Copies of this chain bind each other. A is one copy, B any other.
Amino acid sequence: MADVRRARLVVAYRGTDFRGFAPNQGVRTVMGELVPAVSKVVRQPVELSMAGRTDAGVHAWGQVVSGDVPAVTDLADLQRRINKMCAPDITIRSVEWAAADFDARFSATSRRYRYHVWNDPAPNPLLHELTWHVHRPLDLDAMQAAAEPLLGEHDFASFCRRPKTPDGMEPASLVRVVSDATWSRVDDTPMLRFEIAGSAFCHQMVRSIVGTMVDIGFGRIHHTKMAGILGARSREAAGGVAPPSGLVLWEVGYDGRRWDAG
């Protein structure tokens, strides 16, 4: 096989018509389209690592993917050709050479997600696929107050779908560090945005947090209960799970060392 070199791709996709990210027999997935496209362009099979798995219907703006391609590859040409093959649902936003031990998933030190709620009696047909339509008025101040207890290091078991533990194994830790959790209104419109960043997120964590916060925004749960819900470390303590349409993997961070190839 020809000399290979590690490449790093920043990928955006509209998750609406995908059944998730990982390759999966018989259903349309992001990796199920991306891996064959890259392999076709570089004319050899490639394996790709991805920073954050996204569920069916979840979007990405700054998903990061890494893998080895022939060292002679013209990256700008690779990007153009993949973007033609994968349009309009998947786009390579940028591509660059990375250090040989860069791994999109294991080198990642932080992830940032955005969740959009369209909070108006009338739905928004233009942004239907990118939002959760919540028709009853939400109390943004109460939702922001409920975001404060999430900051710092906690066991997020109340907001996570716990992975199956094989016999005789320790259950996986659900301890995560959240560094930002902020609600805002976009440009005086009915669009509400929740931005959350942290070390890593367990399965359905952002959607469970948003679902519980929307219950708080309705007044169904008082915002002072949030610390107790988190402390309960039980899925039963939390509210509902917000739909995938409102969620975007916004950015992945790689702090701590230089991962570029130079």
Residue count of chain A within 8 Å CB distance of chain B? 23
**Copies of this chain per assembly:** 2
Digitize A82-108: 1 where CB-to-B-CB distance is under 8 Å, 0 elsewhere: 010001111111100000000000000
Please give me the residue from chain B that is nearest to A59 by CB atom.
Answer: B126
Residues from chain B with Cβ under 8 Å of A93 in the complex: 122
Q: Are A90 and B125 within 8 A (Cβ)?
A: yes
Beta-carbon contact of A91 and B125 below 8 Å: yes
Chain B CB within 8 A of A156 CB? no
- CB <8 Å contact, B123 and A94: no
Asked if A79 is at the interface of the complex by the 8 Å CB criterion, the answer is yes
Question: Judging by beta carbons under 8 Å apart, are A125 and B14 in contact?
Answer: yes
Known: A12-B122, A59-B126, A88-B128. 18 other contacts (CB 8 A): A12-B125, A12-B126, A13-B125, A14-B126, A14-B128, A61-B126, A79-B122, A83-B122, A83-B123, A87-B125, A88-B123, A89-B125, A89-B128, A91-B122, A91-B124, A93-B122, A126-B130, A126-B248
